[in-house]
Amino acid sequence: SSTSFFPSPSCSRSKPRFYFIALPALFKQELQDTEAEEGGTATLRCELTKPKAPVEWRKGDVTLYPGLKYEMRQQGCAAELVIHDLELDDS
Protein backbone atom coordinates (compact mmCIF):
# COMPACT_ATOMS: atom_id res chain seq x y z
CA SER A 1 0.00 0.00 0.00
CA SER A 2 1.18 3.57 -0.68
CA THR A 3 0.77 6.66 1.47
CA SER A 4 -0.44 9.94 -0.03
CA PHE A 5 0.32 13.37 1.38
CA PHE A 6 -2.22 16.11 0.86
CA PRO A 7 -3.21 19.37 2.55
CA SER A 8 -6.16 19.24 4.86
CA PRO A 9 -8.99 21.75 4.25
CA SER A 10 -7.90 23.81 7.28
CA CYS A 11 -4.37 24.13 5.88
CA SER A 12 -5.61 25.26 2.47
CA ARG A 13 -7.61 28.07 4.10
CA SER A 14 -4.81 29.37 6.34
CA LYS A 15 -3.00 32.53 5.36
CA PRO A 16 0.79 32.71 5.18
CA ARG A 17 2.37 34.09 8.33
CA PHE A 18 5.47 36.20 8.63
CA TYR A 19 7.63 36.20 11.72
CA PHE A 20 9.93 39.07 12.57
CA ILE A 21 12.82 38.67 14.97
CA ALA A 22 13.72 41.94 16.65
CA LEU A 23 17.45 42.53 16.79
CA PRO A 24 18.78 43.61 20.19
CA ALA A 25 20.01 47.13 20.75
CA LEU A 26 23.78 47.11 21.11
CA PHE A 27 26.23 49.78 22.17
CA LYS A 28 27.68 51.67 19.21
CA GLN A 29 29.55 53.96 21.61
CA GLU A 30 29.95 52.98 25.25
CA LEU A 31 30.19 55.27 28.25
CA GLN A 32 33.45 57.16 28.67
CA ASP A 33 35.08 58.29 31.90
CA THR A 34 34.07 61.83 32.81
CA GLU A 35 35.72 64.25 35.22
CA ALA A 36 33.72 66.91 37.04
CA GLU A 37 33.94 69.02 40.18
CA GLU A 38 32.04 68.36 43.38
CA GLY A 39 28.79 70.32 43.39
CA GLY A 40 28.80 70.51 39.60
CA THR A 41 27.07 68.54 36.86
CA ALA A 42 28.28 65.56 34.84
CA THR A 43 26.83 64.13 31.63
CA LEU A 44 27.33 60.47 30.72
CA ARG A 45 26.53 59.61 27.11
CA CYS A 46 26.23 56.42 25.09
CA GLU A 47 25.07 55.62 21.58
CA LEU A 48 22.97 52.61 20.62
CA THR A 49 22.48 50.78 17.34
CA LYS A 50 18.69 51.27 17.45
CA PRO A 51 16.90 54.60 17.81
CA LYS A 52 14.53 55.07 20.75
CA ALA A 53 15.56 51.75 22.33
CA PRO A 54 14.44 51.55 25.96
CA VAL A 55 17.34 52.47 28.26
CA GLU A 56 17.58 51.78 31.98
CA TRP A 57 20.31 53.60 33.90
CA ARG A 58 21.86 51.91 36.93
CA LYS A 59 24.52 52.61 39.50
CA GLY A 60 25.67 49.15 40.51
CA ASP A 61 22.49 47.21 41.28
CA VAL A 62 20.40 50.34 41.88
CA THR A 63 18.09 51.57 39.11
CA LEU A 64 18.16 55.34 38.68
CA TYR A 65 15.00 57.37 38.16
CA PRO A 66 14.55 60.96 36.97
CA GLY A 67 14.31 63.61 39.65
CA LEU A 68 16.29 66.50 41.11
CA LYS A 69 19.49 64.44 41.07
CA TYR A 70 19.24 62.54 37.78
CA GLU A 71 18.02 63.67 34.38
CA MET A 72 17.66 61.20 31.50
CA ARG A 73 17.67 62.35 27.89
CA GLN A 74 17.26 60.32 24.74
CA GLN A 75 17.27 61.47 21.15
CA GLY A 76 17.55 59.05 18.27
CA CYS A 77 20.31 56.56 19.09
CA ALA A 78 21.93 58.75 21.75
CA ALA A 79 21.12 58.37 25.45
CA GLU A 80 22.41 60.67 28.19
CA LEU A 81 22.39 60.65 31.96
CA VAL A 82 22.90 64.04 33.61
CA ILE A 83 23.91 63.94 37.28
CA HIS A 84 23.33 67.18 39.16
CA ASP A 85 24.89 68.41 42.43
CA LEU A 86 27.78 65.94 42.30
CA GLU A 87 29.02 64.31 45.49
CA LEU A 88 31.89 61.92 46.17
CA ASP A 89 29.34 59.06 46.33
CA ASP A 90 28.56 59.68 42.65
CA SER A 91 31.99 58.48 41.50
> 76: closest CA among 45, 43, 31?
45
> pLDDT tens digit string along 6-31?
555 555 556 667 676 777 888 899 98
CATH code: domain of residue 68: 2.60.40.10
Residue 42 located in a structural domain:
yes
Residue 20 located in a structural domain:
no
Range of the domain at 67: 1-8+26-90
pLDDT, position 38: 93
Residue 52 located in a structural domain:
yes
Continuous segment of H or E residues that includes residue 73:
strand 70-75
Residue 18 located in a structural domain:
no
d(CA 81, CA 60): 15
Say if pTM beats, i.e. exceeds, 0.75. Answer: no
Structural domain count of the chain: 1
